[in-house]
Chain A
């Protein structure tokens, strides 16, 4: 194949996938090959407005993003910055949720390229959201401790003020009010298990007197070597929070009345 043939093939393929279909008076659907991550193509309409032509998404792009995101999230933080940059870079306007670009001086092709690029940049926000899928284990743990331990008997993210003023060795929840406080660690991963082991060893080294309890998100997922070393240090462990709520509660209650 010559370069000329390849170039012709590129042109043919790109041209074939761009087309217009009439949808009423002075209104056309613009079909392009460009898609959201779920296979839906961008929604673009060419229509006459105030004597000139505009390309509009008719509110579809933001609406599509709100399948997973709160609409307010589009107006703040990183997402708002990405959207703001895309709009200003490609001269696209946001009119109450409708994205559109006026077409000046019959520059239909240029306007379409700019519009598509802006929409694609904005749709990338959906990838940001997918990466944020996460466990709610730490929040669940905190909620569970708030339910199970009176406020004046617990302290989250506790650090020993004398030995650790910089807060390098925190305890997820310290239960106090007994001769020896109970350190409770929430462990969703290998890394957190290693950190918890180092923290407990450091507190031992400082000569602090305490009891220790670990609650795993899913102990079966923890590396065997990491778990073995941690088991040598920690007094009591529960393999998961959800399956052991009642047992853990009972275990803590026994401490609270001592």
Chain B
């Protein structure tokens, strides 16, 4: 039986600190598969929750990508998608709100979509915060409290 998470539980999981390993940049280098590049990284949150970072990008269209934060509930093989940062390669419909758009967008898990039997991250909102894959990943890191290992060299040039 799939777990249903409340909005409060979802918010708590998003806020839980997610320390990245020192070699995370190597571990998230995507590798080519059939039709797309992909990589995954399993992480433990500071409060002990199990998370997975899932990265996908089309080999045919660089604007077709996904950076996903997944929560893995204990004692289950379920993959619960907390957040998904999508490129601009398809329209999206929020069936409850009756809204359709074609843009870069961010999916978020919500209680209300789970309650109608829809996929947990069916709700999405268009965004102007990113327009390519690396920017989307940076937004995911920032929004979901990922913590990068201290690197004084890197700090000089970029912030996430």
Partners in one complex: yes
Are B122's CB and A38's CB within 8 A? yes
B35 engages A41 (CB within 8 Å):
no
B107 partner residues in chain A, CB cutoff 8 A: 38
Of B55-63, B140-148, B150-158, the stretch lying at the interface with chain A is B55-63
Q: Do the beta carbons of A39 and B92 come within 8 Å of each other? A: yes
* Interface residue? A26 (CB, 8 A): no
Q: Is B47 an interface residue (CB 8 A)?
A: no
Which one, A41, A56, A62, A140, contacts B36 given CB within 8 A? A62
A56 to B121, CA, bound (A): 26
Of the four ranges (under 10, 10 to 19, 20 to 34, 35 or more), the interface on chain A belongs to 35 or more
Q: Is B136 interfacial (CB 8 A cutoff)?
A: no
- Least CB distance from A50 to B in Å reads 16
Q: Is the CB of B91 within 8 A of A31?
A: yes
- In the complex, the answer to whether A60 meets B64 with C-beta atoms within 8 Å is yes
Q: Tell me if A67 and B64 are in contact (CB < 8 A).
A: no
A contact residues around B56 at 8 Å (CB) = 63, 66-67
- Tell whether, in the assembled complex, residue B74 and residue A58 are in contact, meaning their CB atoms are under 8 Å apart: no
Residues A51-77 near B (CB distance < 8 A): 56, 58-60, 62-64, 66-68, 71
Chain B residues with CB under 8 A of A59: 34-36, 58-61, 64
In the complex the two chains form, what is the Cα distance from A56 to B61 in whole Å?
A: 11
Contacts of A41 in B (CB 8 A): 90-93
Shortest distance between the CB of B114 and any CB in chain A (Å)? 12
- B93 near A67: Cβ-Cβ < 8 Å: no
Cβ–Cβ < 8 Å partners of B60 in chain A: 56, 58-59, 98
B residues with CB within 8 A of A: 1-2, 33-36, 38, 54, 56, 58-61, 64, 66, 68, 74-79, 81, 84, 86, 89-95, 102, 107, 118-119, 121-124
